[in-house]
A and B are shown apart, each in its own frame.
Chain A
């Protein structure tokens, strides 16, 4: 089974621009979560989508948004980029819908650099 894929892998933007990152979950997985990872803050939860609905949201400003499509693929968008948004953005998918606890499987991440 193919793993979680994320595109693009690397991105360089300037302050004030906006960016869209894409994530394709493992086939059959219905939940997609997004995380921001920085050296100072570690892995921080952004949001989780399940069946095209946002289920959970972390403590990030409204500039960070996301959506999920009917095929479970997900995108996250960051508007009005700031230098502090430079980070590794990770997407994780899990089966959900089976009761019990679902393990999250991560993609390779998108390295965003804001200049």
Chain B
């Protein structure tokens, strides 16, 4: 069965304390992996799309990487405004999109 998991479920960081979020997937063929950020009561905001193992993308304090079994979202020197739920999703070879449960990130000043 296709599955996407994320860890940790929740993460609390001090401002400036770098860390990584994990997205692991078991799917019947990966066509691509997406990272989103979601603030409470709002729709997910697109961050990155990764297509193949070894690919990396960066945006401000965020960097996403992809391997054959997982993806990492690295957050460098986070700020309080980075607090949000981070979601990863995969599109399978059957053209279905499956979302992970998300990681709730809190950055404390």
Which positions in A face B, CB cutoff 8 Å?
4, 33, 35, 42-45, 55-56, 58, 88, 90, 92, 101, 103-109, 111
Contact = CB atoms under 8 A, between A and B. Distances in A.
Contacts of A45: 96-99
Given A101-B31, A101-B91, A109-B43, A42 B97 contact: no
A103 B49 contact: yes
Interface string B3-32: 000000000000000000000000000011
Please indicate which of the listed interface residues A35, A43, A104, A108 has the most CB atoms of chain B within 10 Å of its own CB. A43
B42 interface: yes
B43 A56 contact: no
A42 to B, nearest CB: 5
Contacts, number: 48
Interface in B25-57: 31-32, 34, 36, 41-46, 49, 51
A108 B44 CA distance: 8
Interface of B: 31-32, 34, 36, 41-46, 49, 51, 87, 89, 91, 95-102
Contacts of A107: 43
B96 A103 contact: no
Contacts of B36: 106
Contacts of B87: 43
